[in-house]
Amino acid sequence: MIWIPITVAAAAFQVARNAAQRSIMGGAGPWGATLVRFLFGLPFATAFAAVAWISTTGAVAHPVPWFWLCCAAGAAAQMGATAAQLVAMHRSTFALGTAMQQSGLPFALVWGALLFGDRISALTWSGGLVASAGLAILTWPRGEVVMRRGAVLAGLGSGALFAFSANCFRQASLTFDPAHPAASAFVTVMIVQALQTVVLTSFLAVRDPSALKAVAAAWRQSLGAGFCGAAASGLWFTAMTLTPVGAVRAVGVVEMPIAAIAGNRLFAERFTVLQIVAGLITAVGVVMAALGQISP
């Protein structure tokens, strides 16, 4: 059951990272804001990995080809997912952009079962469907909520890509050192972020140098986003090494109310009564999914 509090902590760090990224997106653009997560997170990820590995007795590395393939595929999918999520937030609201990204929940269940052979209980499947229904109601545009063109597509796309990348990272962590999930998870985060930093920095250096300048100019916010991002990723990876991704993503929907509070405090955003009810429905689904994975 330790994976449940680890997941809740990861969700909290992720909301903090998203808020920091959103605040610099205007100048850096979606790809520049995406780079922040990896470039400024890499030093922290390296430090976390070093501490985790050194303090783990008997840790043994297994960097087989499958590990590198999963890291590369997950890294590419996560970069696309992060950019899509930031676009969704920019074209709607911070909280709704976060909620739409949670469409990764049903995708995570499907990808894990079909592509990677995860064993998922009927209760977890049911909880995932209930939570997904709540999220669908929550993110449906209405009234005074602004949903500009492309927001929904970007949000759903980010969910699908995040779910695929999460399953890839689970496989990578399980391969690197299955006997020590925390150490393996943090080392995997470090390697993935190094790959993402090199690829995205090179891309922006050629295609959009101004974005790199904007990222450098916003280094104070970027450091905060980097720390929170590295901490969130390490905790997500650890939880996903301990249990299937679908269950982790279900419990991770706790990110939604945290994002709602952050959106209200930081960006003066509000939810309607219907959206609050939808949040409660989603919470029921989260509990069902969690119970499904901890039941004997």
Question: Domain residues of the chain, as ranges?
Answer: 3-294
Q: Please report the pLDDT score of residue 266 as a whole number.
A: 58
Q: How many C-beta atoms surround the C-beta of residue 178 within 10 A?
A: 11
Nearest-CA neighbor of 181 among 242, 251, 132?
A: 242
Q: Please report the pLDDT score of residue 253 as a whole number.
A: 73
Tokens of 227: 């720390």
| Residue that is written with structure tokens 């100048």 in the block | 27
Q: Please report the pLDDT score of residue 157 as a whole number.
A: 87
Q: Please report the pLDDT score of residue 132 as a whole number.
A: 77
CA–CA dist 256, 155 (Å, integer): 14
Which pTM does this prediction carry?
0.78
CA–CA dist 234, 19 (Å, integer): 19
Low-confidence ranges of the chain (pLDDT < 70): 21-28, 30, 94-96, 98-99, 101-103, 138-147, 256-271, 293-296
Nearest-CA neighbor of 31 among 87, 90, 91?
A: 87
CA–CA dist 33, 23 (Å, integer): 9
Q: Please report the pLDDT score of residue 112 as a whole number.
A: 85
| Residue that is written with structure tokens 């997950």 in the block | 74
Q: Please report the pLDDT score of residue 296 as a whole number.
A: 46
CA–CA dist 249, 161 (Å, integer): 13
Q: Please report the pLDDT score of residue 78 as a whole number.
A: 86
Concatenated DSSP letters of the chain: -THHHHHHHHHHHHHHHHHHHHHHHHHHHHHHHHHHHHHTTHHHHHHHHHHHHHTSTT------HHHHHHHHHHHHHHHHHHHHHHHHHHHS-HHHHHHHHTTHHHHHHHHHHHHS-----HHHHHHHHHHHHHHHHHHS--TT----TTHHHHHHHHHHHHHHHHHHHHHHHHHH-TT-HHHHHHHHHHHHHHHHHHHHHHHHHHH-HHHHHHHHHTHHHHHHHHHHHHHHHHHHHHHHHHS-HHHHHHHGGGHHHHHHHHHHHHH-----HHHHHHHHHHHHHHHHHHHHHH--
CA–CA dist 109, 164 (Å, integer): 10
The answer to whether residues 185 and 237 touch, using CB atoms and an 8 Å cutoff, is yes
